[in-house]
Structure 1
């Protein structure tokens, strides 16, 4: 199949290689940002600038006739947080061709002498900057697309990473390239260009307590009304749920949202839906997800099991509340994909009886988790036990 769509990366200098120029010469339609189109000399192709939002034009191109040659201009490498992936996900391999340019990420790393493999790239283009929060770790180097430097500096300072070094590159690779250096808690530079890369070397304050991406965040990392899976039980629960890249979790009876949030922090592509009947708790889950760097976590408010209607099939299900709701376990088990994991925790005798029945019916493992924490008793330490948790864990054949 001869490609009808060519996606061409273009840099700030407008320079294009022979392959890209040949594609432009053959084009019937040229699509790109206003800035991109201005870098390309006029030719035979009709021109269309991206609207805002751009998805309607993407859809028009993908569903239109494929007899014409279409060239799409994109910044740098179209497949690195660019429009290229939007098109290729919907097309067969023979229908398109990608001609990449050096990415802004590569240029920023080159300017700083940073090995790319050691730098975390975070794209906030069309997304919440809260995504940065998971990546902020002591000594880590970050490169951010689509972020305003002042907002990055404010967030770093609020997180306890005010001493972090920041470098902002505007118009990388072009004649107007500029660089601004500073420290997060003393950031005084103006906003600069929209098309900037913000590079960060993460350095915490002395009092800052870093948060790991492994399961078992401190309980105090979450805003809670007390309805939450405690740290030790949470770590054991997530070990059974086994987060994997690209997979989806249903966090059913989510309470504070701890399980869905920690699942989502395990990998940038992990997704979760938190289902909670109480409006105040649903709002708290959303706030906790933003604070802990997973703003894309979806919160569904409603009564079970009806609130599960229409949700995409999960790879894992956690039932933290409502285990006795008629039809709930049946619905979750039926929706779960083969090889998926279902874990349910209870703290009541009635809940234990329900789990025992399901264990007898479907199999899996029944586990009793008992945790005691040392607490002051007079002038000494004694053990204070948390409510024991009974857990049922099973993998769907």
Structure 2
């Protein structure tokens, strides 16, 4: 076998073959096999290679293409394969030197050029197989988004979602087959989408307008964003807790005693690279955590139903642990014994018994103890006074 890459990831647009570069045409001419969706295969010029339709679901095609190792293979993808495309899903199964990529102009670039929008200040989403709720964290008046959609019917879903969120006045530019001879643009208000069908491939440029509620960018979002049975770290305490947890890129959190999931959800809202697992012993609360996470656009939150520490072995190891419920000496002992050095732990205690546990742990292991007392104004007869919440003791330590 030659040292040359056997696999080429080729990005093509709707203007193929006219829009193919010389390098792309050369790769196709040398190919023994071309794999791709039927629509992409139909855009190709005449080639001598065998054509194989990429199967559905997408994952089934990975093993098939890997079985062709050693032959000259071209895999087709839309535009830039590494921007909400198939590129990374395929490349992670290959060694360096086995593959090369010839990207085309991405749909995001083409649409931004049509709209006159700077791509670096435009939110970009690929919702081919993802829910509309992924948009929720960025929905705010003035935001611009380019959204790749599954099919024509999803255009109506997008309009309905924006209207339900209070942003029905948003301006949509719907693009069909952008970049090709069939390109068509429809400018419309989100709440007034025409009943006609839109043709695949389709995407929408959205300028968000309306009086809908927007998620704060700061930790400590309002409590009413979270469905709860009352078992929830309230807003001011949540902000202080997220500050102590101090999320950093690519870190993984264990949220033990998830309750409503508010801590894990706000952790995930801090950066797209961070991950989290919520551990909750009650089935009803575990379901509520999943619902809250999905509604706020962070359905990547993993939810484990079970008590801690029994449910912890086998989970992805954390960089940070938060204990908000179910604090016991057994749990603290397990964490100290099994977690690696440099793991950060933050635990909140309300009862005298749990406070004593944290005080003893701080004496043994160090770290910081913080006593937090909050009060809010409330009616006091005909006037107002301060109503104090239970004080919270917070222990923060790096193992």
The two structures have a TM-score, normalised by structure 1, of: 0.94
In 2, the alpha carbon distance for the partners of 1:249 and 1:113 equals 40
Aligned partner of 1:87 in structure 2 is: 90
Work out which of the residue numbers 22, 25, 32 in structure 2 matches 1:21: 25
Say which of 217, 225, 230 aligns to 2:229: 225
Query: Aligned partners of 2:397, 2:167: CA distance in 1, in Å?
Result: 41
Evaluate the alpha carbon distance shift between residue 116 and residue 304 of structure 1 in structure 2; reply closer, same or farther with a 3 A threshold. Answer: same
1:250–1:20: structure 2 CA closer, same or farther, 3 Å change rule?
A: same
Structure 2 regions of 5+ residues with no counterpart?
A: none
Q: Report the CA distance shift for 1:246/1:204 in structure 2 as closer, same or farther (over 3 A).
A: farther
Aligned to 1:12: 14
Measured after TM superposition, the shift of residue 375 of structure 1 is 1.7
Look up the SS of the partner of 1:306 in the other structure.
coil
Q: Name the residue aligned to 1:196.
A: 202
Structure 1 188/330 Cα, relative in aligned 2: closer, same or farther at 3 Å? farther
**Secondary structure at 1:150 match in 2:** helix
Cα gap change, 1:331 to 1:157, in 2 (>3 Å):
farther
In the TM superposition, 1:366-381 aligns within 5 A as 366-381=369-384
Contact 1:77 1:102 in 2 (8 A): yes
Give the corresponding residue for 1:343.
Answer: 346
Change (3 A) 1:325 1:256: farther
CA distance in 2, matches of 1:204, 1:325: 51
The answer to which of 98-107 and 386-395 deviates more is 386-395
Q: What is the alpha-carbon root mean square deviation over aligned residues? A: 1.7
* Contact 1:254 1:320 survives alignment (8 Å): yes
1:117 to 112, 120, 137: 120
Relative to structure 1, the CA distance from residue 124 to residue 337 in structure 2 (aligned partners, 3 Å threshold; closer, same or farther) is farther
Distance in 2, Cα, partners of 1:245 & 1:132: 21
Between the aligned partners of 2:188 and 2:340, the Cα distance in structure 1 is 49
Cα distance in 1 between the residues matched to 2:265 and 2:248: 14
Q: 2:144 aligns with which of 141, 146, 164?
A: 141
Q: What corresponds to 2:185 in structure 1?
A: 179
* More moved, 216-225 vs 303-312: 303-312
CA, structure 1 residues 330+30, in 2 after alignment: closer, same or farther (shift >3 Å)? farther
CA–CA distance in structure 2, aligned partners of residues 363 and 59 of structure 1: 51
Counterpart among 245, 259, 274 of residue 270 in structure 1: 274
3-state DSSP class of the match of 1:193?
A: coil
Partner of 2:170 in structure 1?
A: 164
Q: Measure, in 2, the Cα distance between the counterparts of 1:193 and 1:269.
A: 33
Would you say the 8 A contact 1:316–1:336 is kept in 2?
Answer: no
Residue 161 of structure 2 corresponds to which residue in structure 1? Answer: 155
Are residue 68 (structure 1) and residue 81 (structure 2) matched? no
The alignment status of 1:285 with 2:289, answered yes or no, reads yes
Matching residue within 307, 332, 338 for 1:329: 332
> Could you say if the C-alpha distance between residues 346 and 184 of structure 1 is closer, same or farther in structure 2, counting changes exceeding 3 Å?
same
Q: What TM-score, normalized to structure 2?
A: 0.94
Q: CA deviation at 1:249?
A: 1.1
What SS does structure 2 have at the residue aligned with 1:267?
Answer: coil
Corresponding residue for 2:257? Answer: 253
Aligned length: 392
> Once the 2 structures are TM-superposed, how far is the Cα of residue 257 of structure 1 from its aligned partner?
0.5
Task: Determine if contact 1:314/1:335 at 8 Å carries over to the other structure.
Answer: no
Where do 5+ consecutive residues of structure 1 fail to align? Answer: none
In the other structure, the counterpart of 2:61 is: 57
Residue 140 of structure 2 contacts residue 213 of structure 2 at CA under 8 Å; is this kept in 1? Answer: no
Deviation of the 1:334 alpha carbon = 5.0
Alignment correspondent of 2:131: 128
